[in-house]
Chains A and B, each alone.
Chain A
Amino acid sequence: MDTSAAGKTFPPYEFHVERGKIREFAAAVGDPNPVYRDPAAAAAEGLPGIPAPPTMLRTFLYEPQTSAEALGVKDWSFIVHGEQEFEYFAPVVAGDVLTGTQRILSVTEKESRRAGKLSIGVIETVFHNQRGEKVQVLRRTLIETGQRIAD
């Protein structure tokens, strides 16, 4: 990875929160919760609409690849997703149009006795909704190892 990429920022992008994609995503993560399908069930939980499941904004539905490309990875088969964090500030519901802004928080290197030299990149995405409210912050940690990941 390119350690000089730390601090880089990228143009904002839109994330349309669609009811059909929420239903599809909930089914894909094996979640039968009616709040993802039925407006009345969502309202009964105090939600202003059908909510996005908690990990849904970490997908490639709308996310541009520019931030990941800026890490300067030579071969993505040497990359593992080490960690993913979400902070939730306000509900994200069907019909919302979010704006995501990405930044490379850090790129660090360390020696691992088992895996050789590791590079660790952290990409942060801050999402605001159409009213300008900060709704979620995501941090994705990617680790570049010295060898392909295999058993």
Chain B
Amino acid sequence: MAQHPSFPSVNVGDEAPSLVFGPLTRTDFVRYAGASHDFNPNHHDEVYAKERGNKTVFGVGMLAAGYGGRLMTDWFGVPALRRLRIRFASRFWPGDVLTATGKVTAKNEADGLLECEFTLVNQDGEVIVRGDATVAPGR
């Protein structure tokens, strides 16, 4: 069983174990399309995407959102997650390597909740996703 930090052991400023995704492939995008039934052709059809002025297909935002969700559940466990918000800042492409990092920004002793922020950035340091989450680690 995975070990997750308990509420008393966590402090503001603590950082999530970071995760790296990629280099991402078109197959990764197609696998997410199939799993989510999001068949917007911009995410899997090279011809369609280029006709609309894109250099190639690009990743669906909710795939990056899923990476952010994993950052939080790897850290505190699935049952601890109370809220997750993802803001989509920029697009991502085949070949990109996304690095997810996060930290605790507030600790509410009264209700046992932590507020966290996270980002996914590409290999050039460009922010792809900003997110924040509320978690209730075990006491």
By a beta-carbon cutoff of 8 Å, the part of chain A in contact with chain B is 21, 24-25, 27-31, 33, 35, 41, 44-47, 51, 53-55, 58-61, 76-77, 80-88, 91, 148-151
Q: Please tell me if the beta carbons of B54 and A35 are within 8 angstroms of each other in the complex.
A: no
Q: What are 11 A-to-B residue pairs whose CB atoms are below 8 Å?
A: A25-B36, A27-B35, A29-B67, A31-B69, A31-B73, A45-B2, A54-B73, A54-B84, A60-B37, A77-B42, A84-B88
Beta-carbon contact of B69 and A53 below 8 Å: yes
- Size bin of chain B's contact surface: 35 or more
Complex CA–CA separation, A46 to B66 (angstroms): 22
Number of A-B residue pairs, CB cutoff 8 Å, is 122
Pick the contact of A85: B70, B73, B74, B84 (CB < 8 A): B84
Rounded to whole Å, the gap between the CB of A30 and the closest CB of chain B is: 6
- Whole-angstrom distance between the alpha carbons of A140 and B31 in the complex? 22
Select one of B21, B35, B82, B83 contacting A24, CB under 8 A: B35
Is B7's beta carbon under 8 Å from chain A? Answer: no
Q: Which residue of A lies closest to B22 (CB)?
A: A30
Q: Does B77 contact A (CB under 8 A)?
A: yes
Nearest-CB residue, chain A, relative to B69: A54
A59 touches B88 (CB 8 A): no
Q: Is the CB of A33 within 8 A of B66?
A: no
Smallest CB separation, A137 vs chain B (Å): 9
Chain A residues within an 8 Å CB radius of B69: 29, 31, 53-55
Interchain CB contact (< 8 A) of B79 among A45, A87, A148: A45
Question: Which residues of B (28-43) have their CB < 8 Å from a CB of A?
Answer: 28, 31-32, 34-40, 42
Say yes or no: B52 contacts A148, CB within 8 Å. yes
Cβ-based interface call for B81 (8 A): yes
Partner of A55, one of B34, B54, B55, B66: B66
**Which among B1, B39, B66, B88 is the interface contact of A28 at CB below 8 angstroms?**
B66
* 0 or 1 for each of B82-105: is its CB under 8 Å from A? (1 = yes): 111111100100000000000000
Give min CB distance, A58 to chain B, whole Å. Answer: 6
Q: Are the C-beta atoms of B67 and A30 separated by less than 8 Å?
A: yes
Interface string of B11-28 (1 = CB under 8 A from A): 000000000010000001
